[in-house]
Amino acid sequence: MNRSMKIARALLLGATTLASLAATQARASDITFAVIGPQEYNLPVNFATPFNAFVQYGEWNNQSQVYNSSGHVTNVGEGNLYVGLSKYVRFFTIDGIPDVGFAYEVIVPLVQVQQKTAANGGIGDPLTGPAVWFKPNGNSTLGFQSFVQVPIGETAVSNHYWANYSSMFFDYQWEHAAITGNLGAVFRSTQNISGAPDVDEGTTGHLNVRLSWKNQTIFQPFLALDWQATSVAHYSQSNLVASPASNETALGIGVMAQFTPAASLTLRYSHDVAGLNTTLTNGAYMKFAYVW
């Protein structure tokens, strides 16, 4: 496989939408790294020249239903979440470290939360950090990524805490199929909002898997599995529960179109199949990637 095709297969690194946009009886959140597409981590090593990538992710999620503390679905009225994530990635190698690839990312989110009587939006908390990977054999990739989320977004959509997103990612290629995904955690600092009590945020674990069918056309259908669980959040001073533990599992179906060796578009629909104390995932995802 020539270098341009290897780069085209490198469908870039993961990103995340903003978690815990609000803390009520159910966490208003998206599953961490739910935006990734098929072959997301099919990455090259030993490329002679550094290269760049731009990725635009988009998401719409209906926020009108939640899972209660018994795991039953409850209607809470009209609501929609719109998220756009603009990402720049620099891919490079380091002399003296063969067979290992490196990347550094900067991700800027744009968030809009709409309810029946009100709407809030703006630039959210940006994320930045590195990734490193190697190939155990010619058909597989294994790596690690770690991002810091900085609480400098606009007040209405900022999380108001520092966070670290760290995960192991993987990819394996068969002749007619491919599997890619990650397994990781989100660690959060204390949430500080002016005029509100401080909250010691919970930790999130997550798993994201994409199984795709490779064929002779430009279209690659795939199935998606996303899961996350978040521990209890407590008020710092009283140690009372601020948000209960939550979890959710979503399944999805989508397709990736590889228009050129450098450009692709991915579309997906996902819906929860189980959950607890969280907003129901019921939405559409988009990803456009360009490599140069």
Q: What is the mean pLDDT of residues 205-217?
A: 97
Q: Which residue has the higher pLDDT, 156 or 185?
A: 185
Per-residue pLDDT, 89: 98
Given a contact cutoff of 8 angstroms between Cβ atoms, the answer to whether 184 and 144 are in contact is: no
CA atoms within 13 A on the CB side of 202: 21
Backbone angles phi, psi at 103, to 5 degrees: -150, 155
List, in order, residues 6 or more apart from 181 with CB less than 8 Å away. Answer: 36, 40, 41, 169, 170, 207, 208, 209, 210, 225
Both structure tokens of 12 = 């870039």
| Phi/psi at 157 (5° precision) | -125, 0
Q: What is the pLDDT of residues 7-55, one digit of tens each?
A: 444 444 444 444 433 333 344 458 999 999 999 999 999 999 999 999 9
Q: What is the pLDDT of residue 76?
A: 87
Angle at Cα 29 formed by Cα 27 and Cα 34, nearest 5°?
145
User: Each residue of 68-119: pLDDT tens digit?
Assistant: 999 999 998 888 999 999 999 999 999 999 999 999 999 999 999 887 777 8
Measure the CA angle with vertex 81, ends 79 and 84; round to 5°: 165
CB 87 within 8 A of CB 39: no
pLDDT of 281 strictly over 50: yes
Answer for the pair 281, 272: CB distance below 8 angstroms, yes or no: yes
Domains of the chain (ranges plus CATH)?
A: 3-291 (2.40.160.40)
C-alpha pair distances (Å), 280 with each of 26, 51, 231, 243:
10, 38, 18, 16
| Mean pLDDT (the chain, rounded) | 90
Q: What's the first-to-final CA gap in the chain, in angstroms?
A: 17
The whole-number pLDDT of residue 120 equals: 85
What pLDDT is recorded for position 130? 98
Indicate the length of the chain as a whole number.
292
pLDDT at 148: 98
Residue 93 CA, distance from chain mean position: 25
Q: Can you give the pLDDT at residue 39?
A: 94
Report pLDDT digits (tens) over 109-159.
999 988 777 788 999 999 999 999 999 999 999 999 999 999 999 998 999
Token digits of residue 3: 């270098």
| Model confidence at 177: pLDDT above 60 | yes
242: helix, strand or coil: strand
pLDDT of residue 29: 57
pTM given for the model: 0.90
